[in-house]
Structure 1
């Protein structure tokens, strides 16, 4: 039975007329006409300011003309909220674009947790019709054939343009011919979609710098204008990266306290008391004994993994692990095995064979076995089957290393990642790794585990004694973000009888025997100068954002499937891969989304980032988006997908109006 749709929250967007009310042919002609006009303007080098740029309007009144879509930079945030209902968030920005969208409707909230009454769904790949694969192969064949013909004639008639691919002046070419070919003949055709420079905070909206090219994307010319677009392209999951509010105030104070940057390594003059506060807070946040921070997320994996395993050890890795992990695994010198992506049955088969056969040639027992996986896979949006892999760990006695770059902060009712989402005790995991650039709006990474492990990593890993320390302003953002998620309580209010607040059984139902994570953090664990506003100190702001993020992710994922698209990943994942397949449609999809009356910024991935047949757009909703924002994205995908023939899914289909009206029911059904 359908639920009564809740009253809509206030939106800053307005449209002149719904494109869904127009016949599909009229919509196609309208889009193609707009693309042709834009192409004509760029090729004739017209001034872009002579015509109105489609952008976001902050007025809630109906639009009466196309010019009304232009952003009014003189408005303040009073037009975003109901004056009778003050916003819960104190982070509403006063900048021309909107960093955070206010939504007071409690129906548009959801808790990120695993339902143990339902089986965990293994990663499945839904295949499109055969003609889609055929058309994709033909597209690549045409691209490569024409590209190689152009190179063949170019090397004969314009040799000066290809000297970098041939031996010259006694030097061998640095770049391989195939890599150069892909970059010149495939990627460059879509560089206006790959590399879209932005300015300002990538919050609910962002500003894209307008450019055009007169030499087929060899160079890009900045026009001086900007397009304000709805942002579905950033990893700012909880919208902690803001230019105004409690987080920014704390960062500004840290600059007054410590200066703009620090110098030296962690063992030199670059480390300070902020790093000690941060590492203690991270360990408490994750429920581990100790933690170690690193100034770069990529280096966290690539430099710490070689310290954990070496010759005589075995590393078993998921076939779709991130490049940073692959680099670290190769540098370790350990024997390497791969298992199929997120397949626990294949992992068990690899484990059984490796343990029974032992080391190559000698067949001696392995010194150690380390299984390396991700909590949430950035390209597929799939979630690790943590309960099953912990079960295998107890059976086969291997060490487990989990990369939570995308899951920490974005998953779990308390934002603690996959262990929180599945309610699995953190002590079951040997090494927890994560980054600060996604859920916390900062930069860098961390390694967390037992104290003996972290002490060894401090001395033996390259990032420990040699890497630059994280600057005070960045580490302050990490501390404030984690403290706002946990909540801060004065140390005098904590009693021995209740050191940590109990879990709310209505939100998370702990399994029998599962340890509880530490709750609110004592004020003594924060620097004395760090004073948080009430909504951050009590954790209410962060809890609201986590619940909004969970709703937005589930709604967008389920809505796209109901509209007939092939979507990968888990329903709770903030990364939603929308499969497009054909390389020609990828660039057109991005350009059409940006050319809409309300522009939408998205990113896409094609070969060699994915396989030939798996080109996709990755949509990344955040807590800053309102339910109406997701409606706008769904309607845009529905219209553009209809024009480009992208609905290949086999799921039961709904109309776009039904999806938007039954959003709450849809979210709680997945």
Structure 2
């Protein structure tokens, strides 16, 4: 639980029955046993390593086994080719396999599906409209690429305008933008940290954060997800003991201590406990890096993310990171903060020095969305979309609770993980829903804990009530057929009036 303007925000993590977990374990180990049996009887022709005595292995044997004999069996559930804009609906190219997932062939048929798998939170993934018009105009004005890095002839006026608008939107002194969201973390974090620094990272942080921290060479301590007490214990010990390499038993303090968290954790649907973390950050004089990839645009009265949602001062967060790939329907990312910090990144960031500048049409799309969210277009379209997303989120989460399935995360989170538990139910759930013209994403080990496979529903302001009702009806049928009703929480069986749902603002 965490507090929001005097209220309590509950990040629900309901545990399943012991029997469910035992059966999930048994089913997973049966898959593993069948995989080892298949490998022993029908050994595949795969690459082997020779003459590498004294060298580490080039690949992990278990990873390759898991990929061939477990993941391969259900790999048709992912990587569906899409031949449309990923809006409220999308079009999939159908394909079939005749050799259990080793190869696929296209059937030539298309399938139009309700899209519950894209991070199109505000519905700006559109092929027409004011943002698309700006992108087309930018393509004619600047071309599709600048042909250079930001430091080497790659900066245009449109990049400067985007950074000014981003800083204004976030309420910070300055901001810098990049062409790739993943690289915004992985190529900038190494410019901020060194070997004499300590990173305290939430255990559920994204792979891009983990990669960036690893490249920096900083020492890493992991704290349990959203566990403020554990975080404070690590902070206290870090300050008391300092760096482990001591000279003549002399206390050597850390050069920097930096806390890394996310606004909304995409696998859990949970919110960061931001007010409490800011309190700890101030108390122990640490730095705070906040990744708002899934919360910027989607949360807060005007879409300014968890900082606005909790009523915090953006200047209390040293570095505000986010991506333009989700709520903005575009690509790339940003980092905002104090002018001194951003100026440092402009000089030293690998993404600024070596990566091509953001494509001008991509930047134009983001500028269009920012102007809509800030009301600079003269309409209330941005406010309307934010409210629609919040209403859709509350409606779907409350209806899923009535159905009796277990979902994780906050009631205000548009990322809704629906727990499947059994690895085999990933395949049955995704395949069944696609046959019913609903496209969604299910994930399992190693992206989640081994016995917590889940289907991740991503809601959008573009979804209509009729579309959501159809999806909920089919999910309820799926839950009955495959045994997904694991929740033991009391159900509110009263009808839910969509239009009268009370929003969080």
What is the TM-score of this pair, normalised by structure 2?
A: 0.95
The structure whose Rg is larger is 1
Question: Does the alignment pair 1:263 with 2:103?
Answer: no
List per-residue Cα deviations over 1:565-595 (Å, max 9, x = no partner).
Answer: 1100111111100000001111101111112
| Structure 1 match to 2:45 | 162
Give the whole-Å Cα distance in 1 for the aligned partners of 2:79 and 2:181.
Answer: 22
> Aligned-pair RMSD on alpha carbons?
2.1
Question: Does the alignment pair 1:415 with 2:308?
Answer: no
Give the whole-Å Cα distance in 1 for the aligned partners of 2:499 and 2:256.
Answer: 48
Aligned counterpart in structure 1 of residue 314 of structure 2, from 421, 426, 430: 426
| Structure 1 match to 2:95 | 211
Question: Does the alignment pair 1:142 with 2:25?
Answer: no
Cα separation, partners in 2 of 1:196 and 1:459, compared to 1, 3 Å:
same
**Structure 2: runs of 5+ lacking an equivalent:** none
List per-residue Cα deviations over 1:190-220 (Å, max 9, x = no partner).
Answer: 1111221111101110001111111111111
List per-residue Cα deviations over 1:110-140 (Å, max 9, x = no partner).
Answer: xxx985342233x453111111111111111
Output aligned runs, 1:620-631, within 5 Å.
Answer: 620-631=458-469
Question: Does the alignment pair 1:538 with 2:366?
Answer: no
Give the whole-Å Cα distance in 1 for the aligned partners of 2:500 and 2:218.
Answer: 49
Aligned counterpart in structure 1 of residue 108 of structure 2, from 224, 240, 246: 224
Cα separation, partners in 2 of 1:269 and 1:669, compared to 1, 3 Å:
closer
Output aligned runs, 1:554-573, within 5 Å.
Answer: 554-573=394-413
Aligned counterpart in structure 2 of residue 129 of structure 1, from 17, 21, 25: 17
| Structure 2 match to 1:446 | 334
Output aligned runs, 1:39-58, within 5 Å.
Answer: none
Divergent runs of 4+, >3 A: 165-175, 661-670
Output aligned runs, 1:181-580, within 5 Å.
Answer: 181-362=65-246, 363-488=251-376, 537-580=377-420
Q: Contact between 1:120 and 1:385, CA under 8 Å: does it hold in 2?
A: no
Q: Name the count of aligned residue pairs.
A: 499
Secondary structure of the residue that 2:87 maps to in structure 1? coil
Secondary structure of the residue that 1:580 maps to in structure 2? strand
Q: Contact between 2:5 and 2:311, CA under 8 Å: does it hold in 1?
A: no
By how many angstroms is 1:343 displaced?
1.2
Give the whole-Å Cα distance in 1 for the aligned partners of 2:499 and 2:449.
Answer: 35
Give the whole-Å Cα distance in 2 for the aligned partners of 1:366 and 1:665.
Answer: 52
Question: Does the alignment pair 1:646 with 2:503?
Answer: no
Q: Contact between 1:581 and 1:614, CA under 8 Å: does it hold in 2?
A: yes
Give the whole-Å Cα distance in 1 for the aligned partners of 2:215 and 2:504.
Answer: 45
Give the whole-Å Cα distance in 1 for the aligned partners of 2:3 and 2:161.
Answer: 31
**Structure 1: runs of 5+ lacking an equivalent:** 1-112, 156-160, 489-536
Give the whole-Å Cα distance in 2 for the aligned partners of 1:665 and 1:133.
Answer: 38
Give the whole-Å Cα distance in 2 for the aligned partners of 1:294 and 1:452.
Answer: 18
| Structure 1 match to 2:443 | 605
List per-residue Cα deviations over 1:472-509 (Å, max 9, x = no partner).
Answer: 11010111111111022xxxxxxxxxxxxxxxxxxxxx
List per-residue Cα deviations over 1:13-59 (Å, max 9, x = no partner).
Answer: xxxxxxxxxxxxxxxxxxxxxxxxxxxxxxxxxxxxxxxxxxxxxxx
Secondary structure of the residue that 1:162 maps to in structure 2? coil
List per-residue Cα deviations over 1:256-278 (Å, max 9, x = no partner).
Answer: 11122220111122221111111
Give the whole-Å Cα distance in 1 for the aligned partners of 2:29 and 2:339.
Answer: 55
Q: Structure 1 stretch 631-640 or stretch 199-208: which is displaced more?
A: 631-640
Question: Does the alignment pair 1:118 with 2:7?
Answer: yes
List per-residue Cα deviations over 1:325-371 (Å, max 9, x = no partner).
Answer: 01111111222111100111111111111111111132322222111
Secondary structure of the residue that 2:271 maps to in structure 1? coil
Q: Contact between 1:166 and 1:172, CA under 8 Å: does it hold in 2?
A: no
Give the whole-Å Cα distance in 1 for the aligned partners of 2:463 and 2:46.
Answer: 49
List per-residue Cα deviations over 1:534-573 (Å, max 9, x = no partner).
Answer: xxx1241111111100111121122212221110011111
